[in-house]
Structure formats: C-alpha cells, structure tokens
Structure 1
C-alpha cells in the first residue's frame, strides 16, 4: 500500500478531536495555524478558543486594539506572531472584504504567513493541492525515506518540499495534510516512538537501518546570548508605579514592563541605586531592596535573560504613574506577569 494511503488510514482511526477540525473556515484555520507555530496543541488550544470567543470573525479581530490582542496572547510567546496576526486581520478585512484569498500565491503575501501556513490554509480551507511541510512532516519523511539532508539547510528545505509534493494525496489533500502532521505529532514522535505499533514499520528506511534517533538531521543552533535584566519596581506612598512600553525591533515589542536597567553582568545594590539616581533624579531619599535573591533565568530561543526585580520605595511624584491595581490589565511578557502574580502588590 502506498505511503499516503497508509497515512490516511491511520488518521481515520487515530486523529484527535480538535476544535479547528470541525470547520474549513479560513479564519479559523489561519488562527489555529498561527497559534500552533512553535506551540504545543495542549497549550495553544485554550488560546484559540479564547480568541474565537473574543473575536468570532476576522472583522472583530481587525477592529480590536493591539493591546487587547497582546493581552489575550500573553503567555504564548513569540509576540511578533500576535502583531502579524492583527495586521493580517486588517489586511483581509480591508483589501479582501473580510474573505481570505483562496490561493497559495495570494495567501503567502499576508503578513506572518510563510510557505507552511499558506499551504495549510490553501489545502484545508480551499482543497488546493499544496503540500505542507512542518516539523512533524520533516520527521516523518526523513525517517520513512531515510533522508540525511539537514532540514534547516537550503538544500534540505527544497528537497523535502519537493518530496512532500511527490508523495501527497492530491485527491484527498485536505485530510492528507492533516493526517501526516498528526502522524508526526502522536505516532512518529521525536523521542522513543513506538515503532512496533507503526503501520509504516515494514517500509521505513530509518527503522530498517537503525537510524530512528539520528533522523531528521538539523544544523546546530546559533550560540545563545546571555543578557542581564534588572527591573525597577517603583512604588510611591500612593500605591502607584510605572510601566513602560517596549519599542524597537527586539523582543517583546509593544509589551509593557517595569523600568529596565540592562547590563552585561549581575549588578550589586549600590550600582542599582546609582542607576536609579541617573534615570529619575529623585529629590527625596528612596529605599531599594532585592526581591529575588537568585536571578530568574528566562530562556528564549536564542537568549537567556538573567533577571532581578528591585523594589524601589519612593516619596517623590512620578510622571506617567498608574495605580498598582491596574498593572494586571496591561499586556506584559510572562516573565513580568509571573512577578506581578507572585508580588501581589
């Protein structure tokens, strides 16, 4: 039996019931695909349901404020996805009269939509014969066909795309694309797959050659950058504080945080005091204490943030201050949200 037919038979018996599988609506498919990039299904599903509840149509999402979108996204990480999501909702609403384009060629022009997402929407929503290639598909194809090309190399990306197109079931593309991704997600898993229960075991090259753990091949990641963050949690005698919006192209763009002192190493309390004096020029004396005695290590894809929160008690009036009760309303990185919830102001 050919590869694609075996995948489809397996899917019919083993597929999970997921909310976006009950529809071919392009808005729902797009939303789920964007959310599940670099996110596990179990983590992404509650966010998907929350977004559908708050923004039942692409017009609702387009009309929302960026702050509301970021707040609902809070905890999913990779916040550029949320900003691109919001921007694309506006484009689809304004340029396409709230209807997603039905071709790969037009879909890939949308902000935040790459080859995989355009292929997924085109095939699942519009039944277009486009092959999807995500991490799960790379793994299944690399193992089954015994391909040693690095999946994150230029040559590998082109090879696997062509292979995926060659073996896909054009007549059942909507189901097949979901089937091969699901197969990689719950059967051909990264570590310790149950090959004895796999319907492809008799023809899998990696199993035959003892290379299951060696495939797929991936080039080594970039070196991790270490950064030292010192957050100044300013509290005045009226129970007010300061949050600032992050700008620029770095991490957490347009999210809020406490005033930040970034350094190339851990800082002592005396250095923090001098930084506060430089930044704020308070007229009256202030007190500083270190909230967490051990640095919190927050790991991002290519950065590790060594973070300390400093509580600064002041009597001076602050510009742009907000009541501490309002800090829960702002979209903030998880690192800040965890501190807010623990500190309880």
Structure 2
C-alpha cells in the first residue's frame, strides 16, 4: 500500500520528518551555473503514491530541481534519493520523465515513437510497440497509430510523448510543465491521466506555473521562488497560513452583539467581513442570536492556493507567475 497523498507541512521552512515511505527525498540541493546560484538549498519530501506539484514562475529553478532529482545533472551540494537510491540512474527503469522540451522523431509512426521510448527504458522493442498500440487505443488515438508524428496535431503529438513516458509502467512519473501549450480539452484529459496514475499507486511529480492545476490535482506542493523553497508541504496547510474569512449579513445594523465581532471586522456594503476567530464560529453565532442581530447570511471562505502563494513567496513572485501565461492561469 502507498502512503496517503500529500506531503507533511514544513513550518518556517524547517524540514519535518516524513513517516511514510518516500518516493523522493532531497535535502540541501544546490546548483550553480557559471558561478550563479540557480537552486539554493532545496528540501523536498514526496510520499509514494502522491501527486506533488512544484509551483513557481519561469526561471525559478523548477526544471533544474527536477533534473537534479532524476540524476540528469548532479547537485553541487546536498543529497537526493529516489526510492532510497542516491543514484537515480540505477533505477531508471522505475522512472518516466517528460521534459519541458518536447521532441519526437517526426518520421516515426505514433506507435513506433512510443515503442522506441519504451525500448530506451529496458523493454523489448516488440513489446513496447505492442503496448504503444494498446495505449493509443485506450486514450482514443487508435486511429492515429499509423500516422507519423509530423502528421499529428500538437496536442496529439504531446499525448504520444506522454504515453511514451508511461509505456514501461514506471513507479515514478516526473512531468516538467506538462500542461504548457495544451488547449483546455487536452489539459482536462491530462489531469484525468494523472489522477488515474496516482489511483494505481504511481507517484507523480510535476512542475507548473499555473496555480489552478496544482490546486485541483495536488495535496502536496513545493513553492519555488528565486531558487529557494520557502514552503514545501500540503496544499491545505499552505492555505491555512491565511485565516479563513467570514462574510456576515445581519438584519440589525447595531446592538450589543457588535461587541462580539472580532477586532478586524469591517463593514463592506451590507456585509461584515472579518477573519475567522481562533475559537471558531460557534461562540460568535451564540452572541449574534442572543443579541437579536437577525442573521440573514453567513459564509466562511478559505484562502485559495493563489492567496497562499502570494503570502508565502511574495508579490514579485506572484506577478512573475501570472505574467508567464495569463491565458493558462484563467483555465
């Protein structure tokens, strides 16, 4: 059995012990290019069976971090382990990797391209091609199996490369900006595939600059900004760093009940807005009822992951995230 989805929260940027089996563990990863620090002391713990997002603007260090985790490049400092192995190349058969730079041989047929990628991961070419045909059928692309890559639409070609990443049935799938360039329909299909992988016990880690994808899919995220990770943990814990907001509408506009409102309560039109008290909503409800406030409506709204990102990474990182792809952010 695999550990539950999501990573344990890391308060104040101090690593916390993860009790379940880990797919990925990284501590203190540092990488320099020509004397410039691209990644500066990254700590990550990704449980087996998790869908885990690496969230940050372009240039934040996401790709460099993923490549260090996979052993494509070595860190200048720090330790990384994949399923307990410090040399990821030793267990390459267990890993599927979709790089941000897509690339397939344009003259290959779709099923051949998938078979070729499977053979690179230790499958026999015949088995990989046969499984490639099955995967294309399962994902509604059976009609395209004999088409060459150059004859496919961009979305179809990206799906073929993704299936080539999965053909050898890896235990860990790493996707670098997998949603980039996909239309809304294909983004939805990819989200469905990611959920299906996790349901079957596969660990999925993906990088993205689109908060909506991370919020919909992940229980665990690492926020990267400027090569550092100011937060790594559960999405819920990140959102809980900002108090939930209460929206209250009352029939009466004044009365002794107003003394029960929190100190930060402010009037916005016909509503009172304030942070959810630490004691919860029940004592306030009691005071409102006993004071004849006449409750017309009351709602409690938790902060979204976008608000948490701004709170944790800062306004500048949030602006860079939004400027990366406004159209994708809106999806």
TM-score (norm 2): 0.24
Higher strand share: 2
Higher helix share: 1
